[in-house]
Amino acid sequence: MNRPLIELRAVVKKFPADGGAQVSAVDRVSLSIQPGESLGLVGESGSGKSTLGLLMTRLTPVSSGQIIFDGQDITHLSDDAMRQLRSQIQMVFQDPWGALNPRMTVGRSMAEPLKLHTPLTEAQRLQAVSDLADRVHLPKASLQRFPHELSGGQLQRVCIARAIASKPRLLVLDEPTSSLDLSVRAGILELLDTIRKETGVALLLISHDLETVELMTQRLLVLYLGRVVEQGPTREIFNQPAHPYTQTLMSANLPADPTVVLSRLPNVGEIPSPLNLPAGCLFSSRCPLVRAQCQQAFPAFLILNGSVAHSNVHEVACNRVADASHWLTRTHQNS
Amino acid sequence: MSLLSVEDLHVHFIARGINNQLRTAKALNGVSFTLEPGQVLGLVGETGAGKSLTALALLGLLRPPAKVVAGKIQFEGQELGLLDHPGHRSPRGKSITLIPQSPKTSLDPTARIGDQLIRIQREHGQTDTAKAHARAIEMLGQVQIPDPVQRLKAWPHELSGGMAQRVLIAAGLINSPRLVIADEPTTGLDLTVQAEVLDIFKRLVTANGMSAIIITHDLGIVAHYCDRMAVMFAGTIIEEGPVNQVFGAQTHPYTQSLIASTPKHIAQHGFASAVGSPPNLYDLPSGCVYKDRCPKAQAVCDTRLPTLDLGPGHRVRCHLPNPYS
């Protein structure tokens, strides 16, 4: 087994809430990403997906737990040392309109990371920016333009170019395509896929679009109210989601094909407030299969397949998995 | 007789640019479609294709700088004016209603939801407050809001996104319209909530024999909740037909490229070739609006677009449609 590129060990992030209470946005999350691997992160809004992305890039400090990047504990690395490391961990945000300085030309925006992270001269930088533009299929003329003059898809290409300028080893993508049109989205996904294959950069893809995650990632992590409830190889989870929450989530997906018959699981209502979490298993308040045992303690992870050593483990935190009574009954509906 | 028929609708935005010259953005360029009673039509297309604008035109809500340049809208055989003036008797708002997108900003933040639901009825002729109150409770129950009597007293900010969207559905259906237009009804909602909201919407529309137009960019919603679909590009409906046929045949090259952009399709067939930039509405090409992005474009595409009939209710506007396979 290779040494993981990045590893999170029981990471917790708490935010203060009204009346001195605390909300755990991310709770005891452990995960690892191998070099060149692409990991997907799915969950509803409020499940802590974006917070996890911010923690991983150290854009927000952890409350407890450890973050290890390439063998080095970076949990409490000083800002100076972190700045050095930033060239290796880069992020692409959801909203490309908000992610770029409106008063800088796109070319200048793209030169910024090169200024920070490379010893290139001015002339070399210009060349590098022009190469980057080619890399992300951005017309040369747009380098002289300002962000408001470009389309959303082009702006997202600029953000990706900035992120890959310093040749990072980990790219955290927080909903990189959800604000874009379908056809533009496909172009961005293709670009990310090519970049990963050619440079060997590892990807963390945060998304609520299941089909995008299925297409782009090798491993998948399902987050519910800040805790991992299931993780494993993407294909395996899509073929046989084990946790009742994952099953519910997947059954709500609407494939863009009218010939697919939807098989719906019973409706489960809305996600509870993180201020008032259910006891035990966090899904127990919505789970159709809940037992008394589920409300006592958060269930232990059970390995369904694979092994931790080969980083292909498929594990799930559900009490009903032990006696294989975790399958929800589907109602077929013809829409 | 069709419930709704739209013929050759043209909407332009006319405004002065920074050089003080008048500029015309041709936002709708000859939109034509019909809707039969009981049908659910999905209107799809990319940002700026004119989906929401078509809805606003149907509702008579366009205001300058938008201008209806040409076109005819008929509803239940009666011709609707292109602009409504306050005080006019019109089916708009009563028989044709809108379920707007962004539920959190579409409710009045200063009124309890019960009062809003009663106000909508009073506006359209229900003078008996007790009846309106009972109807509001009934509608909240129908959109599966738990404890509707108590919920009538809730303020909009107390509702979650999914709940607020249900209230808007209740508001849109409370006067028993004949046609309801839902503009991106589930954008921003989580997957599981989206499924519930769409199920409720579809069930109520079908049960009450209403027709609906769902505006969306999500082909999954169209595939599973609509009977017919219309694909828009640059203010033109380039293909219209029964959902199964449009997905199955993919006659128009743009329809084909949209479907080829879905992750499922990419997973099976790989990435399709890159798409071009969005059309410039200030300077649309003559002939086919899609030709600059179309991989099949030829000289003939510079000429006036034909409308081809491909069978019952299936029409495509293209010189070089894909052969039916």
- Nearest-Cα distance to chain B for A153, in Å, is 9
Q: Note if the bond before B312 is cis, omega within 30 degrees.
A: no
* Integer Cα distance of A10 and A69 in angstroms: 15
Q: Which residues of A touch B243 (CB under 8 A)?
A: 258
- Judged against a pLDDT cut of 50, whether residue B155 lies above it is answered with yes
* Integer Cα distance of A124 and A122 in angstroms: 6
Whose CA is closest to B284, among B31, B44, B45, B25? B25
Chains A and B form CB pairs within 8 A to the count of: 113
Output the pLDDT for position A160: 92
Q: Which residues of B touch A267 (CB under 8 A)?
A: 192, 195-196, 199
Partner-chain contact A183 B261, CB within 8 Å:
yes
Q: Which residues of B touch A257 (CB under 8 A)?
A: 223, 247, 264
Residue B37 CB partners (closer than 8 Å, separation 6+): B3, B178, B209, B211
Number of residues assigned to chain A: 335
Q: How many helices (H) and strands (E) does chain A have?
A: 10, 14
- Nearest-Cα distance to chain A for B47, in Å, is 7
Q: Which residues of A touch B224 (CB under 8 A)?
A: 254, 258, 262, 335
Mean pLDDT of B274-291: 81
- What tens digit of pLDDT does each residue of A257-290 get? 888 888 777 767 777 888 888 889 999 988 888 8
Tell me the C-alpha to C-alpha distance, in Å, between residue A5 and each of A28, A56, A84.
Answer: 19, 12, 16
Chain B positions contacting chain A at CB under 8 Å are 46-47, 160, 162-163, 190-196, 199, 202, 217-225, 243-244, 247-248, 257-267, 271-272, 274-275, 277-278
Residue A132 CB partners (closer than 8 Å, separation 6+): A110, A161, A164, A165
Q: How large is the greatest C-alpha to C-alpha distance in chain A, in angstroms?
A: 68
Amino acid at B184: E
- Judged against a pLDDT cut of 70, whether residue A296 lies above it is answered with yes
Output the pLDDT for position B84: 58
User: Do A37 and A219 contact (CB within 8 A), yes or no?
Assistant: yes
Q: Which H or E run contains B266?
A: helix B263-269
How far, rounded to the nearest angstrom, does the alpha carbon of residue B254 sit from its chain's CA centroid?
19
Partner-chain contact A190 B264, CB within 8 Å:
no
What tokens does A104 get? 């800088």
Partner-chain contact A335 B217, CB within 8 Å:
no
Q: Which residues of B touch A184 (CB under 8 A)?
A: 46, 275
Q: Could you tell me if A208 lies within 8 Å of chain B, comparing CB atoms?
A: yes
- What tens digit of pLDDT does each residue of A35-79 get? 999 999 998 888 888 899 999 999 999 999 999 999 999 999 998
Q: Which H or E run contains B220?
A: helix B219-225
- Judged against a pLDDT cut of 60, whether residue A334 lies above it is answered with no
* Integer Cα distance of A94 and A206 in angstroms: 10
What tokens does A278 get? 């259910």
Neighbour-count burial for A3-33, b at 16+ CB within 10 Å, e otherwise: ebbbbbbebbbbeeeeeeeebbbbbbbebbb
CA neighbours closer than 13 Å in the CB half-sphere of residue A157: 26
* Integer Cα distance of B53 and A265 in angstroms: 36
Minimal Cβ distance to A256: which of B162, B220, B272:
B220
Q: What is the dihedral of CA B35, B40, B41, B42, to 10 degrees?
A: 170
Mean pLDDT of B57-71: 87
Please name the residue of chain B whose CA is at the shortest distance from the CA of residue A252. B192
Whole-prediction pTM:
0.87
Interface list for A 238-297 with B (CB within 8 A): 248-249, 251-260, 262, 264, 267-268, 270-271
Minimal Cβ distance to B271: which of A186, A249, A258:
A186
- Nearest-Cα distance to chain A for B166, in Å, is 13
- Judged against a pLDDT cut of 90, whether residue B18 lies above it is answered with no
Please name the residue of chain B whose CA is at the shortest distance from the CA of residue A334. B224
| pLDDT > 90 in chain B, percent | 38
Strand order in the sheet with B22-35: B22-35, B4-16, B66-75, B78-80
Decide which of A125 and A151 is more confident: A125
Minimal Cβ distance to B46: which of A44, A181, A256:
A181
Q: Which of A51-60, B265-274, B302-311 bottoms out in mean pLDDT, i.e. has the lowest?
A: B265-274
Please name the residue of chain A whose CA is at the shortest distance from the CA of residue B279. A151
Minimal Cβ distance to B47: which of A181, A187, A210:
A181
Output the pLDDT for position A92: 92
How far, rounded to the nearest angstrom, does the alpha carbon of residue B305 sit from its chain's CA centroid?
24
* H-state helical runs in chain A: 49-56, 79-85, 96-99, 106-117, 122-135, 152-164, 182-199, 210-216, 234-239, 244-251
Amino acid at A65: G
Please name the residue of chain B whose CA is at the shortest distance from the CA of residue A266. B196
Amino acid at A20: G
- Nearest-Cα distance to chain B for A326, in Å, is 19
Provide the pLDDT confidence category of residue B62 given band limits of 50, 70 and 90: confident
What tokens does A295 get? 């409300």
- Nearest-Cα distance to chain A for B130, in Å, is 31
What tokens does B296 get? 């099949």
Partner-chain contact B46 A182, CB within 8 Å:
yes
- What tens digit of pLDDT does each residue of A302-312 get? 998 887 777 78
- Nearest-Cα distance to chain B for A69, in Å, is 31
Partner-chain contact A184 B275, CB within 8 Å:
yes
Q: Could you tell me if A141 lies within 8 Å of chain B, comparing CB atoms?
A: no
Most confident of A31-35, A307-311, B85-89, B310-314: A31-35
Provide the pLDDT confidence category of residue A335 given band limits of 50, 70 and 90: very low
Provide the pLDDT confidence category of residue B78 given band limits of 50, 70 and 90: confident
Interface list for A 12-71 with B (CB within 8 A): 44-45
Output the pLDDT for position B145: 86
Long-range contacts of B205-210 (CB under 8 A, 24+ apart): B205/B40, B205/B173, B205/B180, B206/B38, B208/B173, B208/B176, B209/B37, B209/B38, B210/B38, B210/B173, B210/B176, B210/B177, B210/B178, B210/B179, B210/B180
Output the pLDDT for position A332: 55
